Structure formats: C-alpha cells, structure tokens
Amino acid sequence: MAFDLDQDARAVQQEARAVAALVAPFAAEADECSRVHEPTLEVLRASGLCSLLVPAAYGGRHERVDPLSVCVAREALMRASSHLDSLFALQGIGSYAIAAAGTHEQREEWLPRVARAEVLAALALTEPVAGSDLRAVQTALVDRGGELELSGVKSFISNAGAAGFYTTIAKEGDRFSLVLVPADAPGVSVEPSPEIIAPHVLGEVSFDRVRLPADARLGEPGAGFRHVLATLSVFRISVAGAAVGLMDGALACAARHASAREQFGRPLVRLGPVAGLLADSWAELESSRLLAYATAEAAREDPSAHLDRSSLAKLAATEAACRVVDRCVQVMGRWGLVRGSDIERYYRQARPMRIYEGASEVLRLGIAARLCDDMAGAKGGR
Ligand SMILES: Cc1cc2nc3c(=O)[nH]c(=O)nc-3n(C[C@H](O)[C@H](O)[C@H](O)COP(=O)(O)OP(=O)(O)OC[C@H]3O[C@@H](n4cnc5c(N)ncnc54)[C@H](O)[C@@H]3O)c2cc1C
C-alpha cells in the first residue's frame, strides 16, 4: 500500500529490512530470551541503526529524533524479531529525556554511546503498586544538602540488568522528577521479573539510598511527567509501527498457508469464511499502517503536540494486531498452534503490546476526551 514516504524514510526502511534479514536466521532463539541475546545485539550495534534514536549533535542521524524513521524501522525489525525491535526501541525510550532535558555534560556522557549501542538504555516508571496510575509512584528523591538520595523499587523494567543507566521517575516532595541513575551506582540492584508469555528482558530494579549528584536530575525539579510525555509522544507511534510489522509477518504466514493447503478440493483461500478472515486482516493491517505513518509524519515537527494522535495510532494498531494474529492462527488451523513456529511467536508477542506504553483502556480515556474537545471546538467555530 503506497504512502508517500520521503527518500530518507524509504532509505531507513531498506536499511532496517537489511538488519532484520541478518537477525532472521536466529530470531526464534533471540525471541525466547529474557536476557540480552548477544548475537542480535552485535548485529544491531554493527548496523549503526541506533543513531536514529539520538540527535545529530550527540552522534545521531537526524537533527532531532524523527518519529517516521523510528516507526518504519520498528515495523521492519518487529516483523523479524521482537527481541531486535525491543533492543532498538529502548535506546530511544530510555534516552529521549536526556536529549530533551539533560545537561550538555549528561548528553555528552551518554548519548553517543547510546547511538552506537555501546550502552543500553532503560526507562524506569512502573512500580509494584504504580502501573497506569503513575501518580502512585513511591520511589522517593530527597535533596540532602546538595546531594540527591533515591530509594524505591521499579518493576517490569525493560533492559533491567543490562542497561548502563535508568532514566527514573521519582517523587520529590509532592511533585515528580526524572533522574538519571547509572546502573553501577552503589545501592542499585536488579532481580528478574516473572517470565511473561512473550519473553522480554525485564527486571525489578531496587534503589537503596542511592546517592546522586544534584545535577542527576533531568530537567527542573517537578518536571518529570512533562519529559515522560514527550518520550511517549514519539515512541507510542513507534509501537504502532511495530504492531504493523507483526501483523504483516503474521498475515504472510497465513496467506502462504491458505494458498498452499487444500480442503474440500480447493485451496483454503477459496473457502469463503477463510477468505473473509484474510481480507478483514489485510484491511486492518493497511489502515493501521496508514494511520501510523500519517501520525508519525505529522509528529515530525512537534511530537508533543501529537500525543493524543500518537495514542490513537498505538491503540488502533495494537488492538488490530491482536485481532489479526488471532484470525491468522484460525486460518492455519492446527498449524497455527505449533510451538516455536513464526505464527505462534507472533500470537504471543501481540498480547503485551496492548498493555505496555499505555494500556488500551487508559489510552481511550485521553483519546475520547480529546475527541469531545475537538468536536466541541469545531461546533463552536461554526
Ligand atoms: C513487556 C513489558 C515491558 C515493559 N517495560 C517497561 C519499562 O521499560 N518501563 C516501565 O516503567 N514499565 C514497563 N512495563 C510496565 C508497563 O508500563 C505497565 O504494565 C503498564 O503501564 C500497565 O500497568 P499495570 O500492568 O500495572 O496495569 P494496571 O495499571 O494495573 O491496569 C490493569 C487494567 O486496568 C486498566 N486500567 C487502569 N487504570 C484505568 C483507568 N483509569 N480507566 C480504565 N481502565 C484502567 C488497564 O487498562 C488494564 O486493563 C512493561 C510491561 C511489559 C508487559
């Protein structure tokens, strides 16, 4: 389906497809890992693709992180391997606030290494009691006469144990601040999180009276959520891109199967209900892709102005991905259920996408409020 990707985005797409092709032979192994799969990281590192996730002044590719490039890259990477996609995306998710709000020294210290994937990044928001409701965060940041002290526990943190730093939200008085915590700071420890249906590098990160310099904050005291939302406004769109890649891969499996296998004397694709499953899935794939690309394109200038649209693209694509992959399994009958097959992997990998980076129900609240505001504004203008 044609979307008028510019030359730069098309080049990124080709580049990401080439990286995906290098990982494809061992993707099934990588995607079963809940620790970093070194061969996958090596390919990603050698590719230079992570330079897409950092501004040019600090070793990145574009002047600012370009949401459309990240979106098309994740589409290609996720189609091959969720582990590859996650390693790539986390470099941006964990470092975006450093680029947006860090001091020159913080940027110089971390971003060039993030761009080269020499150091892995992490964003630590979630806690045992604080999931969607991040205002329930209990991790505390206290100013002890010029030095900061951080105490608390973060839960289900991607790249935990492998990351070089944790961009961490903490309660400071009655407000919330972001701090940059080096993983080797005394008092930082990591335990594995429970294994989930689609393995992922996840851990529980404890901060036990971690001492940090006063300039470890990212941005002003109390400005934490502003920078988290800025991160999400870029990277939620890219989850939509990843969901599109997953749908594309799943639908390719189902289409191949429906063409090759015959029942009742004809290929499955010629049996009406099976054709319906395929056609509905293709429609959802193409509409999700168009929405993702259009949203990413619109966000290129000012991502923060497009947070609700970014949520909309993520909601549409991740909900569609679960429907599509379920239909694809159905098309493939018992072959859709075989452990270790591509389609089974996609089936498991689609599910967490509706939960992380904004669960669907929570996104709907913001989206519906925006809809009503926009509609009320439009009526008032008539
Ligand atoms: C693979 C994976 C990777 C992750 N990586 C990270 C990471 O790197 N960093 C990080 O900080 N976190 C990470 N998380 C955690 C993730 O961000 C949370 O799981 C997510 O925010 C949802 O929180 P929760 O799981 O506690 O669900 P809850 O917030 O407890 O929600 C449970 C259910 O209630 C619904 N719900 C909650 N509030 C409302 C509401 N107001 N209105 C309507 N419905 C509501 C939700 O939609 C959901 O259906 C990761 C999770 C996964 C699965």
CA 359 – ligand 1 centroid, Å: 6
The Cα 227–Cα 233 span in angstroms is 10
CA 9 – ligand 1 centroid, Å: 31
358: its two tokens = 């904004």
Give the closest residue (by CA) to ligand 1 atom 12: 126
CA 364 – ligand 1 centroid, Å: 14
The Cα 295–Cα 303 span in angstroms is 9
Average pLDDT rounded to a whole number, residues 277-289: 98
Average pLDDT, the chain: 96
What does CATH list as the number for 7-120? 1.10.540.10
Residue 381: pLDDT band by 50, 70, 90 thresholds? very low
CB 163 within 8 A of CB 122: yes
Average pLDDT rounded to a whole number, residues 271-288: 98
Give the closest residue (by CA) to ligand 1 atom 11: 125
Residue 3: pLDDT band by 50, 70, 90 thresholds? confident
Q: Which CATH superfamily is domain 225-375 in?
A: Butyryl-CoA Dehydrogenase, subunit A, domain 3 (1.20.140.10)
CA 314 – ligand 1 centroid, Å: 14
∠ CA 141-147-148 to the nearest 5 degrees?
15
- Report which secondary-structure segment, H or E, holds 246: helix 224-260
Q: Alpha-carbon torsion 155, 159, 164, 168, what sign? A: negative
Residue 43 CB-half CA count within 13 A: 26
pLDDT attached to residue 303 = 87
Among 246, 339, 238, 345, CA closest to 292: 238
Q: Where are the domains of the chain?
A: 7-120, 123-222, 225-375
Pick the atom of ligand 1 nearest to 200's CA: 1
The Cα 202–Cα 159 span in angstroms is 6
Quickly list H helices, 124-213.
Answer: none
Q: What are phi and psi of 54, to 5 degrees?
A: -140, 145
Residues 6+ apart with CB under 8 A from 274: 258, 268, 331
Give the closest residue (by CA) to ligand 1 atom 23: 131
- What's 123-222's CATH class? mainly beta
List, for residues 293-336, the tens digit of each pLDDT value.
999 999 998 888 889 999 999 999 999 999 999 999 999 999 99
Residues at CB less than 6 angstroms from ligand 1: 123-126, 131-132, 156-158, 200, 202, 352, 355-356, 359, 361-362, 365
